[in-house]
Amino acid sequence: MNRFLLIFFVFIFGIALFAETKQKSICISLEDCEKKADSTEIHRKKITFLTFGISEFASVASTRDQIPLYLKRLKSTILEANGETGYKGEIILKVTHKPEYKITQLNKAEEDLRYLESNQKSLTKEESDELEKLKTLLGDSK
């Protein structure tokens, strides 16, 4: 009986020790992350998808492929910092953030802005126009 229990515990412990714990990715490619971000109106979710895409897949993507994600994240970050949630329904939900949080979000937006400005040559005319609008929105948000 003791042998059986010992074998049983070793077997169970071995399974637990060597079991793979796969964390489910929220998206599987840069394009998938962008598509999922586009499918929601909620800024916090957009930012999550876009940030994951940039951090996980940017190393294998061209600057040209990253630019739309940075533009979208910049816009959502500014709107979110200003209290826009993106939630729509019978009422439009808007929140007021603590000043420290808003400053942190706007600093993140400025990082995205710097990236886009440093890659200005890769932007299309429409993207350049969008960037100018977002610069104004960011300036008005401070």
The range of the structural domain enclosing residue 98 comes to 26-136
CA distance 98 to 91: 22
In a domain, 11, yes or no: no
In a domain, 31, yes or no: yes
In a domain, 63, yes or no: yes
Number of domains in the chain: 1
In a domain, 48, yes or no: yes
pLDDT in tens, the chain (142 residues): 555 444 544 444 444 444 444 456 799 999 999 999 999 999 999 999 999 999 999 999 999 999 999 999 999 999 999 999 998 878 777 788 889 999 999 999 999 999 999 999 999 999 999 999 999 999 999 8
CB-based contacts of 95, cutoff 8 Å, min separation 6: 83, 85
In a domain, 116, yes or no: yes
- What are the phi and psi torsion angles at 83 (to 5°)? 100, -5
CA distance 77 to 75: 5
| Beta carbons within 10 angstroms of residue 70's beta carbon | 22
The predicted model scores a pTM of 0.81
In a domain, 100, yes or no: yes
In a domain, 21, yes or no: no
